Amino acid sequence: MDRIRISGGNELRGTIPISGAKNAALPLMIASLLTSDTLTLENVPHLADVELLMRILGNHGVDIAVNGRRERQEDGYSRTIHFTCRTIVDTTAPYELVSKMRASFWVIGPLVAREGRARVSLPGGCAIGTRPVDLFLEALQALGAEIEIDGGYVNVTAPKGGLVGARYVFPKVSVGATHVMMMAATLAKGTTVIENAAREPEIADLAKCLNAMGAKISGAGTRTITVEGVTSLSGARHRVLPDRIETGTYAMAVAMTGGDVILEGTQAALLENALDTLRMAGAQITETESGLRVVRNGNGIQPVDVTTEPFPGFPTDLQAQFMALMTRSSGVSNITETIFENRFMHVQELARLGAKISLSGQTARVEGVPRLKGAPVMATDLRASVSLVIAGLAAEGETTVNRVYHLDRGFERLEEKLTRCGAVVERVSD
């Protein structure tokens, strides 16, 4: 099993290209099930989750062609991929595939919208809480679907004549359930109004793509999304938006180590709250023609309290990385997690590097220390794993991060990008 070995202490200087967003690419890929024409996606990141979802889509009958690369870009970075689903050959998403990645459950919306039925295994993925699928199923029921859970599978059947538009108020904001209901509603008869919808940029990106395919969606990015159903969707060409979580992660790495880095190809508007928080912590962040420039000021890392919230608040997917940064602050910070109930598994691993963190319910109290010291640590989930990398970049001596397959799920060629900016990071295979 691969490990990442880090020799800490180097500042980061140079340019880091920001990849396409995993959290946008996955629902966009799933949207290919809604049409018999070709959906072409540009800027798709080369990640383990993307590869797994391609296998799942292939199981349903999607023909996938990967070709080309962006001009002046090295092999291995984000790709252009063509998805064509002339016929859905199987409406079952099996346990052995869905159990490996939660987002693959989202195929349930397009399958039932296009074929009138779906049989999808209950999902798996990172162990960061139960994350029930109730909201997904209630949203589909609002569109007229009948649902039965049997033997670990969700069986969904549309009424005769297909799904029917409806008004639905999510009792709790859910990015995944908003994606699924929006996709399903595109082929429903009549108008669907989604209230208390998720507002994340990835929601608006999916709506933009679906509209290019012939859907009629308005309000994406606000709390109320309106979808006027159409009889069919066509193909389209769409570019995946930049990864705001990767942007924030590398910005925090620069704030942690010092240095001066251009984050190329990203947009400040995708994570304004997180950037404002980083500025309070001592980073200087400015927009450039090519992206964002991040420099740590000369006053060190300042303590800042944060609470995770749905967009446009501070992202839960940056909580672990920010906690790593706060371990080296000049005071005490409090980090409160409100999205997932079990997302502090990185605390004990950061403690192995010398961090002082105490937990009280959903709040972590982080007392900054003057130095961290390298040690072997274990990644527990995707975002926790990269927080250990950030800590290792600033730790004295050598840090070894085990279980890096978590990193491969969400960060495209992380060690290469860091090495190009002066970090001493290498992948080690047994």
Q: For residue 376, say whether it is annotated as part of any ligand binding site.
A: no
Residue 172 is labelled as binding a ligand: yes
304-320 b/e with 16+ CB inside 10 Å = b? bebebebbbebbbbbbb
Q: Which residues, at least 6 apart from 74, have a Cβ–Cβ distance to it below 8 Å?
A: none
Ligand-binding annotation for 350, yes or no, is no
Which single residue is written with the structure tokens 């180590």?
A: 257
Q: Is 339 annotated as a binding residue?
A: yes
Q: Is 175 annotated as a binding residue?
A: yes
> Half-sphere exposure (CA, 13 Å, Cβ side) for 328?
28
Task: Collect all residues with Cβ–Cβ distance below 8 Å to 300 and sequence separation of at least 6.
Answer: 282, 329, 330
Give the separation between CA 183 and CA 155, rounded to whole angstroms.
18
Task: Give the H or E element holding residue 425.
Answer: strand 424-428
135 is in an annotated binding site: yes
What would the DSSP string read from start to end of 95-162? HHHHTT-GGGGGGHHHHHHHHSEEEEEPP---SS----SHHHHHHHHHTT-EEEEETTEEEEEPPTT-
211 annotated as belonging to a binding site for a ligand: no
Q: Which of 85, 126, 209, 421 is catalytic?
A: 126
Parallel/antiparallel/unpaired status of strands 224-228 and 259-264: unpaired
Tell me if 206 is assigned to a ligand binding site. Answer: no
Q: How far apart are CA 259 and CA 255, in angstroms?
A: 8
**360 labeled part of a ligand binding site:** no
Q: Is 131 within any annotated ligand binding site? A: yes
Q: What are the respective helix, strand and coil percentages of the chain, to the nearest 5?
A: 35, 30, 35
The answer to whether the annotation marks 150 as part of a ligand binding site is: no
Nearest-angstrom CA–CA distance, 412 and 18? 9
Q: Are 359 and 334 within 8 A, CB to CB?
A: no
Q: Which residues contact 79 (CB under 8 A, 6 or more apart)?
A: 44, 46, 66, 67, 68, 69
Query: Which of these, 387, 266, 198, 262, lies nearest to 21 by C-alpha position?
Result: 266
* Gyration radius (Cα) of the chain, Å: 22
Cis peptide before 312 (omega within 30 of 0): yes
Please check if 22 is assigned to a binding site.
yes
126 is catalytic: yes
At residue 406, what is the residue type? H
- CB count within 10 Å of CB 199 equals 20
Could you tell me which residues are annotated as the binding site? 22-23, 102, 131-135, 172-175, 317, 339
Could you tell me which residues are annotated as the binding site for phosphoenolpyruvate? 22-23
Could you tell me which residues are annotated as the binding site for UDP-N-acetyl-alpha-D-glucosamine? 102, 131-135, 172-175, 317, 339
Q: Indicate which residues carry an active-site annotation.
A: 126
